[in-house]
């Protein structure tokens, strides 16, 4: 049977949040010991909110904070993942993936968008100044340091973020053109769920495997920014109401909310790109490493690039025990190149050499002459 204090605490939250809950929540919830399951009609998923073991007097503030974190995750991370994604690369990149069983995730500052993350940070800045920094907790002399922390968040992500970039569609001429050199370009089709299942758990974050759909529409970006800032403003309200004037900078829930704001803001900024990149239709696999750890969870390698040296991660997808090839490649499409048939034949021979089976090699369907 559910514990009575937990039921009472949750019912108080539902009552207090009734107006906002009814728009997104079907109103059905199951209480089992110290776990609350909320069923959201919007995405037909079960979002699990786990309350850590504590005394019999369950803290309703903790439940309220975790519930709102679930709302933020639901807003940022896609509830339904595409069954397949396409990674565009040149012949050297394809050879490296097939021979080593590794994919490369590049540091976000060394990608083709010079305003990577900065575009999103600039959108957030307006609402942080207008809303978040005006909260009584932040403006309090007792907590002046938190205003400085939030301002610092505008310039410091708190994490080193590495991205493996894929696309929603195959046969995109602009992508083939971007990656095509003298050796040509190709598109590698991955099964999304299988790729996620074999990626190592390297994030050390609330989400084991992070996959983000890039948003290019400026109106949608602005709505998402304001939503997240206002939601976290509401969490500061809840902390102030719960603790009154006694809340100070050492309060564990205040620290949790501020640290989580930076984390979710980063994920949001990673999903924003300028509308001029819209043709990319990008889907990102994200790997994060906190900057302040004395021993980083992710240690990059470096390769020579147009930026000098670009940091990247080798994401190993071999089975270390059986040496089984686990990269879930479904097909490879050869892009526009003068000798398509030879490129196709060479890929088939490499697949045969690596004993990689059930991968079709096709030529692009466009009449473009490179």
Share of the chain above pLDDT 70, in %: 71
Nearest to 226 by CA among 351, 313, 150, 128: 128
Assess whether pLDDT exceeds 90 at residue 353: yes
Confidence category of residue 227, pLDDT binned at 50, 70, 90:
very high
Answer yes or no: are the C-beta atoms of 132 and 338 closer than 8 Å.
no
Confidence category of residue 258, pLDDT binned at 50, 70, 90:
confident
Answer yes or no: are the C-beta atoms of 86 and 169 closer than 8 Å.
yes
CA 361 centroid distance within chain: 30
pTM for the predicted model, two decimal places: 0.79
Cα 137 from Cα 248, distance rounded (Å): 8
Cα 215 from Cα 115, distance rounded (Å): 14
Nearest to 366 by CA among 176, 165, 89, 92: 176
Of 246-250, 270-274, 291-295, highest mean pLDDT: 270-274
Q: Write out the DSSP string of 263-298.
A: HHHHHHHHTB--GGGGGG-EEEEEEEEETT-SS-SS
What tens digit of pLDDT does each residue of 141-190 get? 666 666 666 666 556 667 888 999 999 999 999 999 888 777 889 999 99
Nearest to 211 by CA among 105, 96, 339: 105
Answer yes or no: are the C-beta atoms of 81 and 211 closer than 8 Å.
yes
Of 2-11, 36-45, 68-77, highest mean pLDDT: 68-77
Confidence (pLDDT) at 284: 94
Name which residue leads in pLDDT, 275 or 22: 275
Confidence (pLDDT) at 9: 47
Beta strands in the chain (DSSP E): 25-32, 35-40, 45-50, 84-90, 102-107, 159-167, 185-191, 210-213, 282-290, 301-305, 308-316, 329-334, 360-363
Nearest to 203 by CA among 129, 287, 80: 287
Confidence category of residue 351, pLDDT binned at 50, 70, 90:
very high
Confidence (pLDDT) at 32: 32
Cα 107 from Cα 83, distance rounded (Å): 26
Nearest to 241 by CA among 254, 230, 250: 254
Cα 197 from Cα 194, distance rounded (Å): 5
Confidence (pLDDT) at 152: 66
- Name 141's Cβ contacts closer than 8 Å, sequence gap at least 6: none
Measured at the alpha carbon of residue 158, what is the angle toward residues 241 and 111, in degrees to the nearest 5?
135
Confidence (pLDDT) at 147: 65
Sheet hosting strand 35-40, strand order edge to edge: 25-32, 35-40, 45-50
Nearest to 185 by CA among 95, 283, 312, 304: 95
Assess whether pLDDT exceeds 50 at residue 197: yes
> Cα-atom radius of gyration of the chain, to the nearest Å?
23
Measured at the alpha carbon of residue 283, what is the angle toward residues 281 and 289, in degrees to the nearest 5?
145
Confidence (pLDDT) at 169: 94
CA 248 centroid distance within chain: 31
What tens digit of pLDDT does each residue of 277-333 get? 999 999 999 988 877 655 566 788 999 988 889 999 888 776 555 556 577 899 999
Residue 354 has which token pair?
């690596």
Cα 196 from Cα 285, distance rounded (Å): 9
């Amino acid at each position: 049977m559910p514990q009575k204090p937990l039921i009472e605490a949750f019912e108080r939250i539902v009552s207090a949040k009734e107006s906002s809950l009814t728009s997104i929540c079907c109103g059905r919830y199951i209480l089992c010991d110290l776990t609350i399951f909320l069923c959201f009609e919007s995405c037909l998923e079960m979002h699990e909110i786990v309350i850590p073991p504590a005394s019999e007097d369950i803290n309703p503030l903790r439940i309220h904070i975790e519930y709102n974190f679930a709302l933020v995750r639901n807003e940022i991370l896609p509830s339904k993942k595409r069954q397949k994604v396409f990674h565009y690369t040149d012949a050297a990149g394809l050879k490296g993936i097939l021979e080593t069983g590794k994919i490369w995730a590049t540091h976000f500052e060394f990608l083709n968008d010079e305003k990577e993350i900065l575009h999103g940070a600039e959108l957030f800045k307006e609402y942080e100044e207008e809303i978040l920094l005006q909260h009584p907790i932040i403006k309090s002399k007792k907590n002046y340091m938190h205003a400085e922390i939030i301002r610092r968040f505008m310039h410091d992500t708190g994490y080193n973020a590495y991205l493996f970039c894929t696309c929603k569609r195959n046969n995109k001429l602009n992508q083939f053109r971007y990656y095509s050199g003298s050796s040509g370009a190709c598109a590698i089709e991955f099964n999304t769920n299988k790729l996620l299942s074999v990626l190592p758990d390297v994030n050390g974050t609330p989400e084991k495997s992070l996959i983000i759909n890039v948003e290019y529409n400026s109106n949608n970006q602005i709505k998402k920014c304001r939503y997240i800032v206002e939601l976290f403003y509401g969490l500061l309200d809840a902390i102030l109401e719960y603790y009154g004037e006694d809340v100070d900078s050492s309060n564990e829930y205040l620290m949790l909310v501020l640290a989580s704001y930076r984390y979710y803001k980063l994920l949001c900024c990673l999903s924003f790109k300028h509308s001029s990149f819209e043709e990319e239709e990008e889907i990102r696999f994200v790997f994060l490493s906190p900057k302040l750890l004395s021993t980083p969870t992710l240690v990059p390698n470096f390769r020579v690039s147009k930026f000098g040296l670009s940091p990247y991660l080798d994401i190993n997808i071999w089975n270390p025990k059986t040496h089984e090839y686990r990269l879930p490649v479904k097909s490879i499409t050869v892009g526009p190149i003068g000798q398509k048939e030879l490129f196709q034949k060479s890929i088939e021979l490499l697949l045969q050499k690596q004993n990689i089976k059930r991968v079709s090699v096709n030529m692009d369907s466009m009449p473009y002459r490179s």
